């Protein structure tokens, strides 16, 4: 039973969309493009134990919880997926996702490969898209072009990206691989695939 009354915007074709890809591949831009284009799309907000900064908006960027609260949520199996990233934990709360799916919304998760594996196991009907770089050389060039990190850190991120791509190819969590050689085309491909999966042809 839904905790919320029906809304005029509710539909019957909810879909959980997983979007992943290595750092520098453009997945966040594609994710936001899908979210802006599809009227009933909602972006899942993760819980995190990291400290809230002045730039963060509670409930928009993250839901900020204590380590104790996070432990309790893990113990109660309240996450579709969760991970420890450099000592800070992040998790996708299941109850909110389930509610949005009941409303027929497109629920978007932008998560890493390990998280996608967890979600796909719990919700095999979810639709996974992995964003690929045109080539390893292009990915490395994009990481350098961001000018965010020293070369040593870039090389670590690049090695991790290659490992992620190989893992994604073999873990069964992804239904579609999109090469982002052109942002507009890649976003359009994602939108078309989501439309077909929901049965409205895009």
Secondary structure (H, E, C), 147-179: CCCCHHHHHHHHHHHHHHHHHHHHCCCCCEEEE
Burial class (CB in 10 A: 0-12, 13-18, 19+), 10: middle
Q: How confident is the model at residue 59 (pLDDT cuts 50, 70, 90)?
A: confident
Q: Does domain 15-44+104-197 have CATH number 3.40.50.300?
A: yes
Domain boundaries, the chain: 15-44+104-197
What is the structure's pLDDT at 8? 54
pTM: 0.85
Using the predicted structure, report yes or no on whether residue 55 has a pLDDT greater than 70. Answer: yes
The whole-number average pLDDT for the span 90-102 is: 94
């Amino acid at each position: 039973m839904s905790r919320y009354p029906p809304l005029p915007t509710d539909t019957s074709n909810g879909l959980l969309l997983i979007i992943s890809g290595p750092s520098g591949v453009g997945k966040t831009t594609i994710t936001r493009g899908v979210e802006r284009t599809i009227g009933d799309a909602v972006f899942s907000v993760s819980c995190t134990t990291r400290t809230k900064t002045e730039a963060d908006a509670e409930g928009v960027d993250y839901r900020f919880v204590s380590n104790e609260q996070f432990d309790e949520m893990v113990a109660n199996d309240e996450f579709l997926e969760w991970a420890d990233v450099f000592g800070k934990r992040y998790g996708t709360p299941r109850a909110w996702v389930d509610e949005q799916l009941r409303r027929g919304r497109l629920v978007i998760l932008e998560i890493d490969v390990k998280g996608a594996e967890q979600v796909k196991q719990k919700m095999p009907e979810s639709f996974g898209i992995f964003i690929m770089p045109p080539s390893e050389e292009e990915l490395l060039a994009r990481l350098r072009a961001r000018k965010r990190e020293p070369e040593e850190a870039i090389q670590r991120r690049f090695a991790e990206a290659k490992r992620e791509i190989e893992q994604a190819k073999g873990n069964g969590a992804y239904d579609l691989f999109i090469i982002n050689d052109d942002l507009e085309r890649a976003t359009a491909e994602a939108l078309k695939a989501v439309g077909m999966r929901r049965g409205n042809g895009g």
